[in-house]
Amino acid sequence: MILLEKLKEAATSVIPVMALVWLLHFTAAPLGDDLGRFLAGGALLILGLAVFLLGAEIGVVPVGSRAGSALTSRRNLPLLLGAGFVIGFLITVAEPDVHVLAQQVSAVDPGISHLALVGMIAVGVGLFVAVALGRIVFQVSLRLLLLAFYGLIFACAAFTAPAFLGVAFDAGGATTGPMTVPFIMALGVGVAAVRGGDARDDSFGLIGLASIGPILSVLLLGMMHQGAGGAPPALAGEEARGLAAHFLALVPDTAAEVGMALAPLAGLFAAFRIFLLRRMTRTRLLRVVMGLLYTFLGLVCFFVGVKGGFIPAGSSLGRLIAVTRPAWLLVGTGVALGALAVLAEPAVWVLTRQVEEVSGGSIRSRVILITLCIGVASAVGLAMFRVAGGHSLWYFLIPGYALALGLTFVCPPMFTAIAFDSGGVASGPMASTFILAFTLGASGGLGGNPITDAFGVIALIAMTPLIAIQALGILYGRAARRRKAARPLPHAAGEGAHDK
């Protein structure tokens, strides 16, 4: 049964994170009541992730691919770009990760409006989804666009308010959540398939470009508005109640958020069915509806587990280790959590499967997963080092992005596109909830300013895969050239046979 396979995959992903937190509870950071909620939240996380993956596979991804093909086959560029903007805007406005990030930012700095932040992020994503689709149609070099737009990003960053720097780069990662990634990636595959050319190279890069839009838009918001600043948020006490009651109390609000996330997507599917996919069979339509239902149920379970168990435990864990243990243990815990948490990101599994499919199996999903683990582990370790030492985010972003952009000149184009997509998908729900909560807890425990010290962790998680995946691509390209050089030429083999 497909669901059992998904449950096995999800359990393999989440259980290592739970085991690490369990170990830390009995050794370095006793969590008290938060441990029971964390374990119960982990069980909900496994169930939600499995059901979500099933729904994305049978409902979201196929429609995205068909819609991309249908839009491109119309040969109407304004229609394609306009649809790209509308899709990017609506899905982002409804993306739960974006609201989680915006709420945490507003809680730390009330001078940054939650609604203004969400609106600017959505506009940025919409514009750059249109740019990404236009790139496929006109066969524009992804490297050229990345160099141009990241140059613009750092120029704007030099003039924005300091409170918006980490938030802007974090927004680029949080945007690419569990609903955005499957649909936009499938849309790109559909457009590339109809457009022709090197479909393997063109199928990727949409997420990487879409992640640029929120960074630029939030930086522009920071240039126009000064944050009020703020102290670390006070930890509100919670009324004592049973474990089941604790999680059930979260269901109504979470269901409303997920429903808001899926409503625009369902509306888009209905529009595609009426205007673009008229030949869709009743069976196919039923599968799409079932996929959306599974996706809804999976995301509700996922976010109830995250909010009820993972965020409180992450905050407590970060605060306890920062206050009571040496700095090296904080950094080491960050490395371990980063390596394990990336495996629980729903969008990571969607990306790695699509990479293996589009590459014809030549790039194994397991290799991409291991490489992402190394990159994200390094990112969270660097974030903890930055929190402990109070170092500026600039010291990490400038050399990191300089190296990532420099590698685009020597890395195979398809791996460059995969790398910039990976940076977005690695910084999904687990990063914007558990990892960010852990970092906020550590910053608060050390008496730092979370708006400048803690925010930026998602930015580092989004940056390091750019380097790790491109390094993998360079090794992959060299191995392919060695195999090609070692292969005997046909005419040489024929001559040898003739001489005998």
The pLDDT value recorded for residue 310 is 84
Question: What per-residue string of b and e applies to 105-143 under the rule 16 or more CB within 10 Å gives b?
Answer: bbebbeebebeebbbbbbbbbbbbbbbbbbbbbeeeebb
253-262, pLDDT tens digit by residue? Answer: 889 888 877 7
Q: b/e per residue, 267-300, with b = 16+ CB within 10 A?
A: ebbeebbeebbeebeeeeeebbeebbebbbbbbb
CA-to-CA separations, 146 to 6, 161, 432, 479, in angstroms, rounded: 35, 24, 24, 26
Q: How confident is the model at residue 236 (pLDDT cuts 50, 70, 90)?
A: very low
Domain range for 320: 2-229+251-484
How would residue 156 be classed by pLDDT, with cut points 50, 70 and 90?
A: very high
- Is the Cβ–Cβ distance between 263 and 297 less than 8 Å? no
Please state the rounded mean pLDDT for residues 279-295: 83
Residue of 121, 115, 249 whose CA lies nearest to 176: 121
Structure tokens at 173: 């990662």
- In degrees and rounded to multiples of 5, residue 58 shows phi and psi of -95, -15
pLDDT at 396: 93
Q: Is the pLDDT of residue 192 over 80?
A: no
Q: Indicate the range of 66-80, 101-115, 146-160, 376-390 predicted with least confidence.
A: 66-80
Cα 101 to chain centroid, rounded: 13
pLDDT band at 404 (very low <50, low <70, confident <90, very high): very high
* Number of helical H runs and strand E runs in the chain: 26, 0
Q: Which two tokens stand for residue 4?
A: 């059992």
343: DSSP letter = G
| Cβ contact 470:411 at 8 Å | yes
Q: What is the pLDDT of residue 234?
A: 46
Higher pLDDT, 427 or 34: 34
Which of the four pLDDT bands, split at 50, 70 and 90, describes residue 491?
low
Q: For residue 209, what pLDDT band results from cuts at 50, 70 and 90?
A: confident
Sorted by sequence, the CB contacts under 8 Å of residue 288 that are 6+ apart come out as 58, 59, 62, 63, 269, 280
pLDDT-based confidence at residue 200 (cuts at 50, 70, 90): low
Residue 239 lies in a domain: no
Q: Determine which helix (DSSP H) or strand (DSSP E) holds 470, and give its type and residue range.
A: helix 457-486
Burial class of residue 493, CB neighbours in 10 A (0-12, 13-18, 19+): exposed
Q: Report pLDDT digits (tens) over 95-104.
A: 777 888 888 8
- Which pLDDT belongs to residue 195? 65
Where does the pLDDT of residue 426 fall: very low under 50, low under 70, confident under 90, or very high at 90 and above?
confident
118 belongs to a structural domain: yes
365 contacts 352 by C-beta, under 8 angstroms:
yes
Average pLDDT over residues 160-175: 86
Of 199-213, 358-372, 486-500, the range with the lowest mean pLDDT is 486-500
Q: Which residue has the higher pLDDT, 167 or 103?
A: 167
Amino acid at 204: F
Q: How many domains does the chain have?
A: 1
Q: What is the model's pLDDT at position 497?
A: 46
> Per residue in 7-26, pLDDT tens?
887 787 788 888 889 999 99
Confidence band, pLDDT 50/70/90 cuts, at residue 107: confident
**Res 2 pLDDT > 90:** no
Would residue 189 count as lying in a domain? yes
Q: In the chain, pLDDT over 70 holds for what percent of residues? A: 87
Q: Does 465 score more than 60 pLDDT? A: yes
Within a domain: 234: no
Q: pTM for this one?
A: 0.78
Q: What is the mean pLDDT of residues 454-465?
A: 90
Separation between Cα atoms, residue 281 and residue 223, nearest integer Å: 50
* pLDDT (0 to 100) of residue 241: 63
Q: Which of 16-20, 45-49, 356-360 has the lowest mean pLDDT?
A: 356-360
Question: What distance in Å separates the CA atoms of residue 258 and residue 161, rounded to the nearest whole number?
Answer: 32
**30: which 2 tokens?**
């006793």
CA dist 126 and 378 (Å) reads 31
Contact predicate 178/346, CB 8 Å: yes
Q: What pLDDT does residue 65 have?
A: 66
Instruction: Report which secondary-structure segment, H or E, holds 398.
Output: helix 394-407
75 assigned to some structural domain: yes
pLDDT confidence of residue 250: 92
Residue 154: how many other CB atoms lie within 10 Å: 15
Which is more confidently placed, 482 or 153? 153
pLDDT of residue 432 exceeding 80: no
Domain contains 386 = yes
Lowest-pLDDT range of 196-205, 230-239, 422-431: 230-239
pLDDT at site 230: 46
| Amino acid making up residue 125 | V
pLDDT at position 346, please? 64
Residue 500 pLDDT: 44
Q: What pLDDT, on a 0 to 100 scale, did the predictor assign at position 99?
A: 81
pLDDT category of residue 359 using cuts at 50, 70 and 90: low
**Band (289; pLDDT cuts 50, 70, 90):** confident
Task: Give me the pLDDT at residue 380, please.
Answer: 94
Is 212 a member of any domain?
yes
- Helix axis angle, 457-486 relative to 436-445, nearest 10°? 130
Identify whether 355 is part of a domain. yes
Lowest mean pLDDT among 93-97, 121-125, 345-349, 471-475: 345-349
Enumerate the H helices of 203-326 as residue ranges.
206-210, 212-224, 243-248, 251-275, 282-305, 311-324
Give the CA distances from residue 428 to residues 171, 287, 298, 411, 421, in Å, rounded to whole numbers and listed in that order.
10, 26, 15, 25, 12
